[in-house]
Protein backbone atom coordinates (compact mmCIF):
# COMPACT_ATOMS: atom_id res chain seq x y z
CA UNK A 1 0.00 0.00 0.00
CA UNK A 2 1.22 3.46 -0.85
CA UNK A 3 1.28 5.71 2.18
CA UNK A 4 1.28 9.52 1.91
CA UNK A 5 1.60 12.31 4.41
CA UNK A 6 -0.84 15.08 3.53
CA UNK A 7 -1.58 18.48 5.04
CA UNK A 8 -5.07 19.94 5.14
CA UNK A 9 -6.23 20.85 1.64
CA UNK A 10 -3.65 18.67 -0.07
CA UNK A 11 -4.77 15.92 -2.40
CA UNK A 12 -3.85 12.69 -4.10
CA UNK A 13 -4.66 12.02 -7.75
CA UNK A 14 -5.62 8.48 -8.77
CA UNK A 15 -5.82 7.47 -12.41
CA UNK A 16 -7.72 9.77 -14.74
CA UNK A 17 -9.63 12.48 -12.99
CA UNK A 18 -9.97 11.00 -9.51
CA UNK A 19 -8.84 13.29 -6.74
CA UNK A 20 -8.86 12.51 -3.04
CA UNK A 21 -8.64 15.62 -0.89
CA UNK A 22 -7.70 15.59 2.76
CA UNK A 23 -10.08 18.10 4.38
CA UNK A 24 -9.61 17.91 8.13
CA UNK A 25 -8.81 15.66 11.04
CA UNK A 26 -10.19 15.59 14.53
CA UNK A 27 -11.09 13.21 17.32
CA UNK A 28 -14.02 11.84 15.28
CA UNK A 29 -11.78 10.83 12.42
CA UNK A 30 -10.62 12.38 9.19
CA UNK A 31 -12.76 14.09 6.57
CA UNK A 32 -11.90 13.16 3.02
CA UNK A 33 -13.34 14.55 -0.19
CA UNK A 34 -13.45 12.49 -3.37
CA UNK A 35 -13.77 14.08 -6.79
CA UNK A 36 -14.43 11.47 -9.45
CA UNK A 37 -16.11 11.32 -12.86
CA UNK A 38 -19.84 10.55 -12.64
CA UNK A 39 -19.29 7.10 -14.11
CA UNK A 40 -16.96 6.08 -11.26
CA UNK A 41 -18.90 4.71 -8.31
CA UNK A 42 -17.57 5.79 -4.92
CA UNK A 43 -18.78 3.94 -1.84
CA UNK A 44 -18.01 3.70 1.84
CA UNK A 45 -16.34 0.33 1.98
CA UNK A 46 -18.35 -1.03 4.90
CA UNK A 47 -21.64 -0.21 3.12
CA UNK A 48 -20.48 -1.87 -0.09
CA UNK A 49 -19.30 -4.94 1.83
CA UNK A 50 -22.59 -5.19 3.68
CA UNK A 51 -24.38 -5.34 0.33
CA UNK A 52 -21.88 -7.91 -0.99
CA UNK A 53 -22.61 -10.10 2.02
CA UNK A 54 -26.36 -9.68 1.63
CA UNK A 55 -26.06 -10.64 -2.05
CA UNK A 56 -24.10 -13.77 -1.13
CA UNK A 57 -26.87 -14.74 1.27
CA UNK A 58 -29.47 -14.07 -1.41
CA UNK A 59 -27.75 -16.13 -4.13
CA UNK A 60 -29.47 -19.43 -4.76
CA UNK A 61 -28.24 -22.37 -6.76
CA UNK A 62 -30.43 -22.96 -9.78
CA UNK A 63 -27.86 -24.87 -11.76
CA UNK A 64 -27.94 -28.64 -11.40
CA UNK A 65 -24.84 -30.21 -9.88
CA UNK A 66 -22.49 -31.37 -12.69
CA UNK A 67 -23.02 -35.09 -11.92
CA UNK A 68 -26.75 -34.68 -11.70
CA UNK A 69 -28.77 -35.15 -14.83
CA UNK A 70 -32.15 -34.01 -13.69
CA UNK A 71 -35.25 -34.42 -15.73
CA UNK A 72 -37.04 -31.17 -16.30
CA UNK A 73 -38.90 -30.77 -13.04
CA UNK A 74 -42.56 -30.41 -13.84
CA UNK A 75 -43.85 -27.45 -11.93
CA UNK A 76 -47.24 -27.44 -10.30
CA UNK A 77 -48.99 -25.78 -13.17
CA UNK A 78 -46.95 -27.76 -15.68
CA UNK A 79 -45.54 -24.48 -16.90
CA UNK A 80 -41.79 -24.17 -17.01
CA UNK A 81 -40.04 -20.92 -16.23
CA UNK A 82 -39.84 -18.49 -19.10
CA UNK A 83 -37.69 -15.54 -19.90
CA UNK A 84 -39.53 -12.57 -18.46
CA UNK A 85 -40.53 -9.50 -20.41
CA UNK A 86 -38.39 -6.64 -19.20
CA UNK A 87 -40.50 -3.51 -19.01
CA UNK A 88 -40.02 -0.42 -16.94
CA UNK A 89 -42.35 1.81 -15.04
CA UNK A 90 -41.86 5.06 -13.20
CA UNK A 91 -41.26 4.61 -9.53
Partner 1 sequence: MGSPCPASPEDRIRLNTRFGDFEADSRNLLSFPSGLPGFEQCRRFVLLSSMDAAPLQVLMSVDGPPASFLTLDPRLVLPEYRCQLTASDNQRLGVGAGDALLWLALVTINDRGAAFANLRAPIVINPADMTGYQVVPQDSLYPLRHPVALS
Interface residue list for partner 1 (CB under 8 A): 38-39, 41, 43-44, 47-48, 50-64, 70, 72-73, 75-77, 79-84, 86-91
Cα gap 58→28, rounded to integer Å: 34
Give, as one character, the DSSP assignment of residue 67: T
Find the shortest distance in angstroms from Cβ 20 to partner 1. Answer: 17
Find the shortest distance in angstroms from Cβ 75 to partner 1. Answer: 5
24 three-state secondary structure: strand
CB nearer to partner 1: give 16 or 87: 87
Beta carbons within 8 Å of 48's beta carbon, 6+ residues apart = none
Amino acid sequence: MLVFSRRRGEAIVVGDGIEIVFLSAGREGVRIGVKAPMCVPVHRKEIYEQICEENRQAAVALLPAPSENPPAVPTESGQEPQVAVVEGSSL
